[in-house]
Amino acid sequence: MRREHAKVCAVTDSRLLTKLADKAEFCCARCGAKAHDSESVCEPELIEPDH
- The mean pLDDT of 32-51, rounded to a whole number, is 86
For residue 3, is pLDDT > 60?
no
Residue extents of the structural domains in the chain: 8-46
Compute the distance between CA of residue 9 and CA of residue 32 in angstroms, rounded to an integer: 9
pLDDT, tens digit, for every residue of 5-34? 667 777 888 888 888 777 889 999 998 888
Q: Is 32 exposed, middle or buried (0-12, 13-18, 19+ CB in 10 A)?
A: exposed
